Amino acid sequence: METIKQQNEIDIKNPRMLLFSICFVLMFSVMNGTMFNIAIPDIAEAFNLMPSEVSWVMTGYIMVYSVGALIYGKLADTVAFKKLITFGLTVFAIGSIIGFLAPNYYFVLVARVIQAIGGSMMPAIAFIAPIRYFPNERGKILGIIASVMAFASGIGPILGGVIAGFLSWQFLFLTSALMIVTLPFLLKNLPDEETVNVRLDYLGASLVGVTIASTLIGITLGFVYSLYIAIGFGILAVLRMFKAKNPFIPPHLFKSRNYLVAILTSFLAVACLFGLMFTVPIMLREVYSLSTMEIGLVMFPGAISAALIGRKGGRLVDQKGARKVYLASLALLSTGFLIVSSTVGLSPLIISLMLIFPMMCFPLVQASGADLLANLLAKHETGVGMGVFNLLNFVSGALSGAIAGVVLDLFRPENPVNFLALSGESAVYSNLFLTFMGLVLIGLIAFKLVYRDGEKMA
């Protein structure tokens, strides 16, 4: 397969401005997904909606966003970045304007879907650009990218609460539309590349999309029949993967045990991190009776620590190697979950400080995991390989939140499994964080046993 020009032919006019523009757009793209968590009650009140109805503001966005990240990753192997970014930002801005002017709930949902179609371009581009344009500083740049994502995930609810509180939830759409101002800077600093040999397995993409969508619907909304549909379409997607001449996802990616164990351990780690960010606000509201703004302030130090550690962690990837940093970050993450599990029930100030330990691991896991995959993937398959990585990360976030919500609904033990934690209504949260620790440890052990240095993908 032909690909766009390789690194030694690429001339970037202003690398610093290019990186700043990518980070700015990525930050707003990620915040757009988390800001609306705060506004869900306001949207439900505005249109007199049931919780199951208004949940589609998030569910619909995540479904389209996760599948879109994979599609953009596939296209990035053959389509010039300038075209992808122009299309993505323009579509996202159109969706934002529709949402701001939405006269009813139907238009809000349409706006969120359009936003997701455009916004899902950014994670794909953000993780591929360092590999393509900054090969000598790849780890450092990936660290910066991952720290921006972690910071945006943490700051999103705070910003959403301020905007929705002082103005209204419609202005969240208008705030997101600000991403479009970076388009001229991106177009000016991105190198001119030739789009060649654009081929996409539309049937394969559709089968993967339906599988992901029906899985998320089944888990988030509790529709059992949707899970049966997911299994059926998943089987068809796998068959298509092996039968198609140019499959949407090349099956040989999963024949590499290094690639497979890297994306699966990343899936577990990111699922636990997103589960933490989903669970902590609920815990702070139920156990400590904190307001939305106070919850944001408790989580703020963790978000800041993630932003600060990302760049240094990225440099460590370049200096020490992705494998060593990945193993260390998984070990630190499991320790962080143990610390949080042990201190649940203590004062909000202590909780705020303890959250720093797991949250600062977010950019370390993302940067070192992405660098591992970059070392494994052939240049002409960087896009689709990283696209699968992004797809699983976003799906893991949606699944972990849904599963954590079910656990909190069904189980309310008085005594925690962790003997260091306090008894009472906080026990279920301590148990949940201890479960996260166990899942990360499973991933750590699996990675150490399976991953082999120097093994290249066939």
**CA–CA separation, 382 vs 373, rounded Å?**
8
DSSP 456: P
**Top mean-pLDDT range of 67-76, 172-181, 345-354:** 345-354
CB 313 within 8 A of CB 319: no
Burial 151-161 (b: 16+ CB within 10 A, else e): bbbbbbbbbbb
Determine the 3-state secondary structure of 65 from DSSP.
helix
pLDDT at residue 380 greater than cutoff 80: no
What's the average model confidence in pLDDT over 122-129? 79
Tell me what pLDDT residue 9 has.
41
Neighbouring residues of 3: CB distance < 8 A, sequence distance ≥ 6: 77, 78, 196, 379, 380
Given pLDDT bands bounded at 50, 70 and 90, which one contains residue 1? Answer: very low
In this prediction, what percent of the chain has a pLDDT beyond 70?
A: 89
Lowest mean pLDDT among 51-55, 78-82, 255-259: 51-55
Beta carbons of 84 and 76 less than 8 angstroms apart: yes
Please report, for residues 46, 74, 82, 120, 275, the alpha-carbon distance to residue 78 in angstroms, rounded to integers and kept in the order given: 44, 8, 12, 17, 35
**Can you tell me the distance from the alpha carbon of 88 to that of 72, in angstroms, rounded to the nearest whole number?**
9
What's the average model confidence in pLDDT over 326-347? 89
Asked if pLDDT for residue 235 goes beyond 70, the answer is yes
* Tens digits of residue pLDDT in 7-45: 444 566 677 788 888 888 888 877 877 777 667 667 777
Residue 81 has pLDDT above 60, yes or no: yes
Higher pLDDT, 251 or 2: 251
Rounded distance, CA 42 to CA 333, Å? 34
In a 10 Å sphere around its CB, with 0-12 CB exposed, 13-18 middle and 19+ buried, how is residue 273 labelled?
buried
Number of other CB atoms surrounding residue 429 within 10 Å: 25
- Distance of alpha carbon 35 from alpha carbon 219, whole angstroms: 22
Q: How many other CB atoms are found less than 10 A from the CB of residue 189?
A: 19
What was the pLDDT predicted at 8? Answer: 40
Query: For the segment 419-445, what is each residue's pLDDT rounded down to a tens digit?
Result: 777 777 778 888 888 999 999 999 999
pLDDT over 60 at 372, yes or no: yes
Neighbouring residues of 86: CB distance < 8 A, sequence distance ≥ 6: 183, 187
Per-residue confidence (pLDDT) for residue 2, from 0 to 100: 36
